Amino acid sequence: MNTLEKYEIEELEQTSVDGWSINDIGGADWALRKISALQSQNDEIKKFADLERERIASWEAKETESNNDRISFFEMKLSEYLNKLRKDDPKARIKTPHGTVGTRKVPDKWEYSSEAVAELKKLGMTEYVRIKEEVDKAAFKKSVSVVEGGRVVNSDGEVIEAVKVIPQGEKLSVKVEK
């Protein structure tokens, strides 16, 4: 943020906005300068916050890395001990006041190649093939007309009840030069 932008913000903080309005091009320019200065201040805040987030993330990764290595070591030792217990009892578990160690069955992973649909169709197993239907919105908009009340009609003049157009009005667009 440059000195002029700092001045704009200081001036803004001393200005009362109660009952204030823009009455001429000078007032509009004054408001645009204030917006520009405030956006610059936001950019600085974001830049600083990003640096802090990056620094904290780096610190977190460094601090947790050695802990995660230790956790992996202890999990490996618990696994070895559980495997030793399971030689005598296949359903053995380790239970202590500080936790439980056991195993759970992981479901098999199914992989479907890109040819799966074609092969299922070839084998006559089409009941297992889903077809996703959706409106081609871009092409649809080009082929219909909008009449009063937001109703949509096709080229034959038939009203399409399932589609309506909701006017959105206008949105203010302010672009400041930096």
Separate counts of helices (H) and strands (E) for the chain? 4, 5
Confidence band, pLDDT 50/70/90 cuts, at residue 17: low
* pLDDT tens digits, one per residue of 51-82: 999 999 999 999 999 899 999 999 999 999 99
* pLDDT tens digits, one per residue of 130-169: 988 899 999 999 999 999 888 999 999 899 999 999 988 8
* pLDDT tens digits, one per residue of 86-133: 999 999 999 999 999 999 998 989 999 999 999 999 999 999 999 888
Q: What is the pLDDT of residue 127?
A: 92
The sign of the torsion formed by the CA atoms of 64, 66, 69, 74 equals negative
Q: What is the pLDDT of residue 34?
A: 86
Q: Which residues, at least 6 apart from 166, have a Cβ–Cβ distance to it below 8 Å?
A: 150
